[in-house]
């Protein structure tokens, strides 16, 4: 059995805040205001980007983290797959212990050896900008920080765009990161209390990239934090 259809299992997600550690699809509170949005996020194919916009407290961050946790495994390059297949065949041929032999056979039969965990990151925009600004002020390699966010993760959730004012420098830094991920077709999840039009009013180049990279999902429900 190939893993391509059933690989929506494993990812490694770093930097999830303690308050959000348990967030997943199973404990998301579905109602008539968010059921459509929930289904869109749960059926995410792990390839396109997603921009979750709308009111505060409607569960955008919850669903973004659930998506990261459920991102599909990444298919490895052909040369790696060929090498790993050869190693498994040798292990099976030489292994005397039946349990371990069956373990290797299972890896080979399922095709899981062809994949690796997706490496994902959750980061608030405010936290990212602080890191970039600190690197710039202390002359500690601002470009390397930008490239970390632009290239080093299979998927990143940038949380809460609009929580602080975007200066010209911040807009340029953000555009560099988003445009790089856009060109390399690296899936990116954005959450924002702004609508896509409000994002466009602040920085149309970034809004245009968001729109072309994947779906824009609008949340219009009530703030569940204020509900009894």
pLDDT digits 0-9 by tens, 9-51: 468 999 999 999 999 999 999 999 999 999 999 999 999 999 9
pLDDT in tens, 112-123: 999 999 999 999
Specify the higher pLDDT residue, 148 or 57.
148
- Residue at 215 is within a domain: yes
Question: Is the pLDDT score of 226 beyond 50?
Answer: yes
The answer to whether residues 15 and 128 belong to one domain is yes
127 & 106 share domain: no
226 in a domain, yes or no?
no
67 lies in some domain: yes
Q: Residue 103: left (phi > 0), alpha (psi -120 to 50), or beta?
A: alpha
How far the first Cα of the chain sits from its last, in Å, is 48
Residue 156 near residue 149, CB atoms below 8 Å: yes
Same domain, 214 and 182: yes
Please report whether residue 6 resides in a domain.
no
Q: Mark whether 178 and 109 lie in a shared domain.
A: no
Indicate whether 86 and 128 sit together in one domain: no
Count up the domains in the chain and report the number.
Answer: 2
- Of the chain, the percentage scoring pLDDT greater than 70 comes to 92
Please identify, among 87, 114, 141, the residue that sits at the C-terminal boundary of a domain.
114
- Residue 145 confidence class, pLDDT cut points 50, 70, 90: very high
pLDDT level of residue 125 (50, 70, 90 thresholds) = very high
- Put simply, whether the predicted model's pTM sits higher than 0.95 gets the answer no
- How many percent of the chain have pLDDT more than 90? 80
| Same domain flag for 141 and 56 | yes
Same domain, 136 and 52: yes
Judge if 88 and 162 occupy the same domain: no
Residue 175 located in a structural domain? yes
d(CA 185, CA 222): 33
Residue given tokens 């080093």 in the structure block: 152
CA-wise closest residue to 170 among 211, 216, 131 = 131
Judge whether residue 227 has pLDDT over 70.
no
Domain CATH for 64: 3.40.50.300
Residues 138 and 204 in one domain: yes
Residue 92 confidence (pLDDT): 95
CA 181 to chain centre: 12
Q: Which residues of 52-71 are buried (b: 16+ CB within 10 A; e: fewer)?
A: bbbeebbbbbbbbbbbbbbb
Q: Of 94, 114, 134, at which residue does a domain stop?
A: 114
What is the arithmetic mean of pLDDT over 178-188? 96
Q: What pLDDT, on the 0 to 100 scale, is given for residue 103?
A: 95
The whole-chain average pLDDT of the chain stands at: 90
User: CB–CB of 21/132 below 8 Å?
Assistant: no
With a cut of 50, say whether residue 5 has pLDDT above it. no
94 plus 185 within the same structural domain: no
Same domain, 99 and 177: no
182 and 157 share a domain? Answer: yes
Domain residues for the domain of 182 are 11-72+119-219
Q: What is the mean pLDDT of residues 68-80?
A: 95
Report the pLDDT value the prediction gives residue 140, as an integer from 0 to 100.
78
């Amino acid at each position: 059995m190939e893993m391509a259809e059933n690989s929506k299992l494993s990812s490694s997600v770093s930097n999830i805040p303690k308050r959000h550690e348990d967030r997943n699809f199973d404990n998301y509170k579905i109602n008539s205001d968010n059921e459509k949005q929930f289904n869109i996020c749960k059926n995410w194919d792990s390839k396109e980007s997603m921009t979750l916009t709308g009111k505060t407290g409607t569960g955008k961050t919850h669903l973004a983290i659930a998506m990261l946790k459920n991102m599909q495994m990444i298919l490895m390059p052909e040369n790696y797959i060929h090498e790993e297949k050869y190693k498994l065949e040798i292990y099976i041929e030489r292994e005397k212990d039946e349990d371990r032999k069956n373990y290797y056979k299972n890896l080979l039969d399922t095709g899981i050896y062809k994949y690796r965990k997706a490496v994902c990151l959750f980061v608030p925009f405010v936290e990212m900008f602080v890191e970039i600004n600190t690197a710039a002020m202390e002359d500690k390699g601002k470009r390397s920080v930008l490239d970390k966010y632009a290239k080093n993760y299979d998927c990143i959730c940038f949380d809460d765009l609009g929580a602080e004012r975007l200066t010209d420098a911040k807009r340029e830094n953000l555009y560099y990161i988003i445009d790089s991920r856009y060109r390399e077709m690296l899936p990116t999840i954005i959450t924002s209390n702004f609508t896509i039009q409000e994002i466009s009013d602040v920085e149309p180049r970034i809004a245009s990239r968001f729109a072309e990279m994947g779906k824009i999902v609008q949340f219009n429900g009530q703030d569940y934090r204020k509900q009894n």
